[in-house]
């Protein structure tokens, strides 16, 4: 019986402690890193995070939006609102990648009504809009639609909403 298999059985039967298990997996982690770097296999999660960061940076254009002359209800777009939306997007992507879900996609980040910020995922199969209001104490909201159903809800702006990961990555 291979050593790793014997040690896994021992771990499951509580014959070794967690520290012992860590030493078993370290060579495997090191091997995976060496194989990936030797063959220059791109990490799709890292690429997606780079694309998300680029979209967040590009979204700063909303901060320069000024009111129309006749728009008396205009609420300015603030860095704080943009940061709350960007932080949510980062949390969502990090959570997805930690669960080995790659491919949540990169949403368009743009201006919403009354100083809010929208995150919009849209392709041939689905559409998801997440809105972050300018008032940090107000609840954010989302609405999604695809062939097999719809979903919508309100949530605290600091929540991660991991159920959206599954919805975004499955048809």
Read out DSSP for 39-80? HT---HHHHHHHHHHHHHHHGGGGGG----TT-TT-----HH
| CA 76 – CA 129 distance, rounded (Å) | 20
Residue 18 is predicted with a pLDDT of 45
Q: Where are the domains of the chain?
A: 3-39, 44-169
3-state helix, strand, coil in the chain (%, to 5): 50, 20, 35
Residue 84 is predicted with a pLDDT of 97
Structure token digits, residue 66: 């000024």
Residue 21 is predicted with a pLDDT of 41
Residue 77 is predicted with a pLDDT of 96
pLDDT along the chain (171 residues), means of 10: 46 45 45 49 77 96 89 91 96 88 90 96 93 97 93 93 86 57
| CA 73 – CA 68 distance, rounded (Å) | 10
| CA 118 – CA 107 distance, rounded (Å) | 9
Residue 137 is predicted with a pLDDT of 96
pTM, full prediction:
0.73
Residue 171 is predicted with a pLDDT of 57
Closest C-alpha to 108, from 118, 116, 93: 118
Residue 41 is predicted with a pLDDT of 52
Closest C-alpha to 118, from 107, 127, 126: 107
Give the angle 91-57-51 at the CA atoms, nearest 5°: 65
């Amino acid at each position: 019986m291979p050593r790793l298999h014997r040690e896994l059985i021992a771990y499951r039967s509580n014959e070794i402690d967690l520290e012992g298990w860590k030493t078993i997996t370290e060579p495997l982690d090191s091997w995976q890193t060496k194989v990936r770097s030797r063959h220059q296999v791109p990490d799709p999660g890292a690429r997606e995070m780079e694309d998300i960061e680029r979209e967040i940076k590009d979204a700063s254009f909303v901060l320069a939006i000024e009111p129309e002359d006749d728009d008396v209800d205009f609420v300015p777009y603030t860095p704080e609102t943009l940061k709350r939306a960007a932080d949510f997007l980062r949390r969502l992507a990090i959570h997805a990648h930690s669960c080995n879900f790659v491919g949540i996609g990169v949403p368009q980040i743009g201006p919403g009504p009354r100083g809010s910020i929208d995150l919009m995922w849209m392709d041939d199969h689905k559409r998801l809009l997440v809105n972050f209001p300018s008032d940090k104490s107000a609840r954010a909201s989302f609405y999604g639609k695809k062939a097999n159903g719809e979903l919508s809800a309100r949530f605290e702006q600091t929540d991660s909403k991991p159920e959206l990961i599954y919805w975004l990555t499955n048809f």
